Amino acid sequence: MHKFLTNFIHCGVLGWCMEILFTAADKIRRRQFSLQGNTSVWMFPIYGSAALFAPLFRMLKKKPLLFRGLTYMSMIFSVEYISGKLLNRRSLCPWDYGRSKWNISRVIRLDYAPYWFGAGLLFEKLLTKPEEE
């Protein structure tokens, strides 16, 4: 249980950091050079849930990169969709992709696929590092 909790916290923090950097970098496109990034407290458990997939990450580690990335991307889209729909029921969802032509139900954006591909590989790296002796 201790290992899972540690992994959950690490994934939550990694996800928060990725989101803050991603939203800050998006400001460049809008010519807002303050580079202020943002996230929500709700995102911590959503990103932290990547720890649930640690056994799958270990099982797939030797598979081809493209297969792993596409698998992880699909898993992330699934978690994002489910969590977004659940949070929307209570009007708590911190994101709304309704303005994107690539949105599905306003809670996922298909044009984010390359980012989720990379994020999945980052979570894999975090959760499959060799145990320190």
In a domain, 49, yes or no: yes
Percent of the chain with pLDDT over 70: 98
Mean per-residue pLDDT, 88-92? 97
Mean per-residue pLDDT, 51-58? 96
In a domain, 100, yes or no: yes
Statement: residue 121 has pLDDT above 60: yes
List the beta bridge partners of residue 108. 104
Contact criterion met (CB below 8 Å) for 127 and 48: no
In a domain, 132, yes or no: no
Predicted confidence (pLDDT) per residue in 20-47, tens digit: 999 999 898 889 889 899 999 999 999 9
**In which region does residue 34 sit, left (phi positive, over 0), alpha (psi from -120 to 50) or beta (all else)?**
alpha
Mean per-residue pLDDT, 101-125? 98
In a domain, 77, yes or no: yes
Question: Residue 59's Cα: distance from chain center in Å?
Answer: 20
Percent of the chain with pLDDT over 90: 89
In a domain, 81, yes or no: yes
Mean per-residue pLDDT, 100-108? 97
Statement: residue 133 has pLDDT above 70: no
In a domain, 70, yes or no: yes
Domain containing 107 equals: 2-127
Amino acid at 108: I
Contact criterion met (CB below 8 Å) for 107 and 113: no
List the beta bridge partners of residue 103. 109
What lies within 8 Å, CB to CB, of 43 at 6+ separation is: 12, 15, 16, 19, 94
In a domain, 115, yes or no: yes
In a domain, 133, yes or no: no
- Total domains in the fold of the chain: 1
Contact criterion met (CB below 8 Å) for 126 and 18: no
Q: What is the pLDDT of residue 131?
A: 60
Statement: residue 132 has pLDDT above 80: no
